[in-house]
Structure 1
Amino acid sequence: MSNVPMVTFKVVVIGDYGVGKTSLCRRFAKKTFTFEYKPTIGIDILVRQISLPYIGKAILQIWDTAGEEKFKRMIPMYFKGANYALLVFDLTRRRTFDSVMEWYELLKGSIGEVPLILVGNKLDLEDKRQVDRSEAISLSKSLDTITYIETSALDGRNVENAFRLPAEYIIRKLAEEQVRA
C-alpha cells in the first residue's frame, strides 16, 4: 500500500441556471440522469475518483454552483482554491451563450487565471440548437480556454472528457515543468 497522498482537484462548474450543470455533474460523478429540474441553491459538492496519467488515482471534488441571478453575488466565494473550471451554456438557449463572457469575468475577477473548458451542453437536442459550433469554438479561443466541448448529460456524450481533459492538461503542464527544471 502506497503512502503517497492522493491528488485532489477542486473543479467549479459555472453558468446560467437551467444549462444542465447539475445534470453534467451527476452524470459524471454518479453515472445517473434525471429529467426532474431542481435548481441548485448555493452549492452542491460531488466527488469522484479517477485515474490520471503520471499520478495514478486522483479525486475530483466537483463544486456545482447555482446559476440563478439571485445567487450570483455569493457564487465567487466558492471559486477560491479551484484548480480548474467548466463554464457551461445550453446549446438550445442562445442567451446562455451570450452570458458566457459575464461568467468568465466573474471567475477571472474572483481568482484570476484558472484553466477553463467551455462546455456546450444538451447536444442531444441538436434539432433545437441555437449556437453554432464554430461560433462557440471562436469564443473558446478568444478566452484562451483549454478547449471547447459539446456534451449531453442525457446520453453521456463527452461528459467524461469535459471533466478529465482539464485535469490531464494540468498534470501534463506540471510534468513538462518538471522536465524543464
Structure 2
Amino acid sequence: MSYSYLFKYIIIGDTGVGKSCLLLQFTDKRFQPVHDLTIGVEFGARMVNLEGDKLVKLQIWDTAGQESFRSITRSYYRGAAGALLVYDITRRDTFQHLSRWLEEARQHAQSNMVIMLIGNKNDLEHRRAVSTEEGQAFADANGLIFLETSAKTAYNVEPAFINTAETIHGKIVTGEIDVSNESHGIKVGMAGNAMGVGGLPGLSERQNTSNSRGGCC
C-alpha cells in the first residue's frame, strides 16, 4: 500500500484555544474535555482521501501556545505545507493576537504554506466574543481560508484539515508548489506500511513528543 503524498501541518495559536482538542478529534474522533497543556509539541497523523482516489497522509504537529515555548514552535514552521491558525471565539484576546502569529508564521515558513484560520469552540455561542464576520474579514484581508469549528461536537473539524489539504494539492496541480523540494512540507508517495496503524486506511497515529502538564486544551 502507498499514499500519493505526505503533507506536513503545524497547528498554531494561543494556549487554551483548543489546538490539541482539534487534533484529537481529527485523528481519534473523540473529545477530551480536560486536556493537559501541550509542552513543546505533540504529533498526530491520519490518512485522507482527496478527489475520491488520491490518498494523502497528513503529518500534524500541535505546538505549545505559551510564550516560553515559542522558540521551539518556530523550528516547526520550516518544511510545513499547511498551518491551522486557531483562536477561541469566546476569548477576544486570542483573536487580537492573530496578527502576531501570522507575522511569525510568514517569517519562518516557506512562502507557499497554506494557512487555514479557525475560530474554535463555536458550540459556546452564548459566550461568543468574536463574530463570524470578524473572523471572515481577517481571513479575507490576509489571504487565508476560514472556518469556525467545534472540537467538542466535531463541527467542521474534518473540513478544516481536508480543505487545507485540497488547497495544497491544488497548488501542486498548478505547479505553484514544487514537490521535488521537501522544504515545501510535501513528500511524494512512499511505499510500505503507509496507511496508518495496521496498514488500514483512515486509522490514525498519535504520540506526544514531549511531556504535558495540567490545564485545558
| TM-score of the aligned structures, taking structure 1 as reference length | 0.92
Displacement of 1:14 in angstroms is 0.2
- Aligned alpha-carbon RMSD (Å): 1.6
On the 8 A contact 1:54/1:171 being kept in 2, the answer is: no
What SS class does the counterpart of residue 65 from structure 2 fall into? coil
What SS class does the counterpart of residue 157 from structure 1 fall into? coil
CA distance in 1, matches of 2:175, 2:58: 22
Tell me what 1:140 maps to: 139
CA distance in 2, matches of 1:5, 1:25: 21
CA distance in 2, matches of 1:111, 1:174: 17
CA distance in 2, matches of 1:96, 1:55: 38
Displacement of 1:112 in angstroms is 3.9
CA distance in 1, matches of 2:175, 2:40: 36
What SS class does the counterpart of residue 71 from structure 2 fall into? coil
CA distance in 2, matches of 1:37, 1:30: 14
CA distance in 2, matches of 1:28, 1:149: 15
Displacement of 1:9 in angstroms is 0.5
Q: Deviations over 1:38-59 (max 9, x none)?
A: 1101100101011112761110
Are 2:127 and 1:128 aligned? yes
Q: Deviations over 1:21-74 (max 9, x none)?
A: 000000001111111121101100101011112761110001000001111122
Give identity over the alignment, percent. Answer: 38
On the 8 A contact 2:17/2:88 being kept in 1, the answer is: yes
What SS class does the counterpart of residue 51 from structure 1 fall into? strand
Tell me what 1:44 maps to: 42
Alignment of 1:73-152 (within 5 A): 73-113=71-111, 114-145=113-144, 147-152=145-150
Displacement of 1:174 in angstroms is 2.3
Relative contact order, higher structure (CA 8 A, sep 6+): 2
- The runs of at least 4 aligned residues of structure 1 exceeding 4 Å deviation read none
Tell me what 2:66 maps to: 68
Are 2:23 and 1:25 aligned? yes
Displacement of 1:131 in angstroms is 0.2
Task: Give the aligned residue type for 2:128.
Answer: R
Task: Give the aligned residue type for 1:23.
Answer: C
Task: Give the aligned residue type for 1:7.
Answer: Y
Task: Give the aligned residue type for 1:67.
Answer: G
Structure 2: state its 5+ residue gaps.
177-217
Tell me what 1:158 maps to: 156
Q: Which has the higher helix share?
A: 1
Tell me what 2:166 maps to: 168
Residues 165 and 129 (structure 1), Cα distance of their counterparts in 2 relative to 1, 3 Å cut: same
Tell me what 1:13 maps to: 11
Q: Deviations over 1:83-117 (max 9, x none)?
A: 01000000000000000011101111112421101
Residues 126 and 56 (structure 1), Cα distance of their counterparts in 2 relative to 1, 3 Å cut: same
Instruction: Say which is worse superposed, 164-173 or 15-24, in terms of deviation.
Output: 164-173
What SS class does the counterpart of residue 34 from structure 1 fall into? coil
How many residue pairs get aligned? The number is: 175
